């Protein structure tokens, strides 16, 4: 087992040194270069179970002690003899996002090709790792995540309040990230291709509990392909560090910010689509109709009924505006990324390496 606080060991292999994903020959699991990243915070009683269940074909395991008050790093070093385990310590608590990104950086430095992130509370069934990494190995996705909402039977173990909460958050995430094809955004059981992870690490991704959803937003700015993997909910004797009352307000604000940034960036800065015109005219017609109706109500005489002309002058722009906005929404749904970016990124990486 290795312990590290700073880079010291040269990488055994780079992600660009292996066959590009999507090639005719599918690599064996042992050769896939899969590394597991486990953020560790107050999971001392459960982390050993997780490490013991890691399949033998996983190349490496990065355990990130996120300034854990229980001393997770020392505990793992004292009880784990698996040579694949690498323990890194963060001087300050950075949240699940900061710990995950630190794990990505360490796995990338050591030559990992695919990074699978699991929590240290033994909620995630490691038997689903092949389903997670398969779309990446086949060149069909850049990032995969678990989805517990694909079957009613998968939700049998989830508390009802979490079902309603996750459903609401899923709709909000669709709007703010542009990934209308995914659900269950807070699911932390994920896999990401190394070159894509390298780009993500350069972005200002939220470090706290909004990490998984904010990561989707930043993947959307890269036009990365995201795919859901069906899996059941699983709960045991773990204790959640999330308090619903503390995250509702901040989550709503962050979703609104990401939505506005996405619309401006995607439809007005980086490109110009038919949806851009639909958004502009839809907003103009809608605001004009609502403003006209409000103005008439403010200046009308007591008991005065609106004439047919006044009603049409207010209603028609609203109807047209709503239709334009619905068309823009339809365009946005159909504009979900569909072509993976990691083969392109790895080709660039290999060309850069050949010139150095």
Helices (H), the chain: 47-52, 72-79, 95-109, 129-137, 160-177, 194-200, 211-221, 244-264, 274-299, 308-334, 342-355
Say how far apart CA 304 and CA 285 lie, in whole Å: 25
- Tokens 């700015």 label which residue? 221
Measured in degrees and rounded to the nearest 5, phi and psi for residue 176 equal -80, -30
pLDDT top residue among 54 and 26: 54
Claim to verify: residue 192 and residue 281 sit in the same structural domain: no
Tell me the mean pLDDT in the region 330-341: 94
Claim to verify: residue 98 and residue 55 sit in the same structural domain: yes
Tell me the mean pLDDT in the region 233-254: 66
Q: How confident is the model at residue 16 (pLDDT cuts 50, 70, 90)?
A: very low
The CATH number of the domain where 217 resides is what?
A: 3.90.550.10
Provide the mean pLDDT of the chain: 86
Which of 27-36, 147-156, 269-278, 326-335 is the least confident region? Answer: 147-156
pLDDT at 43 over 70: yes
Burial of 148 (0-12, 13-18, 19+ CB in 10 A): buried
pLDDT top residue among 272 and 19: 272
Domain end marker among 210, 231, 266: 266
Claim to verify: residue 201 and residue 86 sit in the same structural domain: yes
Claim to verify: residue 190 and residue 293 sit in the same structural domain: no
Say how far apart CA 293 and CA 295 lie, in whole Å: 6
**Predicted TM-score of the model (pTM):** 0.85
| Number of domains the chain is built from | 2
């Amino acid at each position: 087992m290795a312990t590290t606080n700073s880079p010291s060991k040269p990488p055994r292999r780079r992600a660009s040194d292996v066959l590009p994903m999507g090639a005719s020959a599918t690599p064996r699991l042992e050769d896939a270069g899969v590394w597991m990243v486990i953020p560790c915070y107050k999971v001392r009683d459960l982390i050993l179970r997780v490490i013991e269940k890691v399949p033998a074909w996983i190349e490496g395991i990065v355990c990130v002690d996120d300034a854990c008050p229980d001393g997770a790093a020392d505990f793992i070093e004292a009880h784990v003899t698996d040579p694949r385990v690498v323990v890194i310590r963060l001087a300050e608590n950075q949240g699940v996002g900061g710990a995950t990104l630190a794990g990505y950086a360490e796995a990338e430095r050591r030559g990992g090709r695919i990074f699978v992130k699991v929590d240290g509370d033994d909620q995630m069934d490691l038997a689903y790792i092949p389903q997670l990494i398969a779309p990446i190995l086949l060149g069909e996705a850049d990032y995969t995540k678990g989805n517990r909402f694909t079957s009613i039977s998968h939700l049998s173990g989830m508390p009802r309040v979490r079902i309603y909460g996750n459903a609401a958050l899923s709709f909000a995430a669709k709007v703010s990230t542009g990934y209308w094809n995914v659900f269950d955004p807070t699911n932390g059981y994920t896999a990401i291709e190394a070159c894509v992870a390298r780009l993500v690490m350069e972005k200002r991704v939220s470090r706290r509990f909004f990490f998984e959803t904010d990561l989707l937003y930043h993947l959307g700015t890269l036009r990365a392909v995201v795919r859901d993997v069906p899996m059941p909910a699983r709960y045991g004797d773990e204790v959640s560090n999330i308090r619903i009352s503390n995250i509702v307000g901040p989550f709503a604000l962050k979703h609104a910010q990401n939505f506005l940034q996405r619309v401006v960036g995607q439809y007005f800065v980086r490109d110009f689509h038919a949806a851009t015109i639909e958004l502009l005219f839809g907003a103009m017609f809608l605001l004009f109709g609502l403003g006209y109706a409000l103005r008439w109500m403010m200046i009308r005489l007591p008991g005065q009924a609106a004439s047919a002309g006044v009603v049409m002058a207010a209603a028609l722009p609203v109807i047209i505006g709503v239709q334009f906005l619905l068309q823009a929404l339809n365009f946005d749904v159909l504009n979900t990324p569909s072509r993976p970016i990691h083969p392109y990124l790895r080709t660039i990486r290999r060309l850069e390496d050949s010139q150095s």
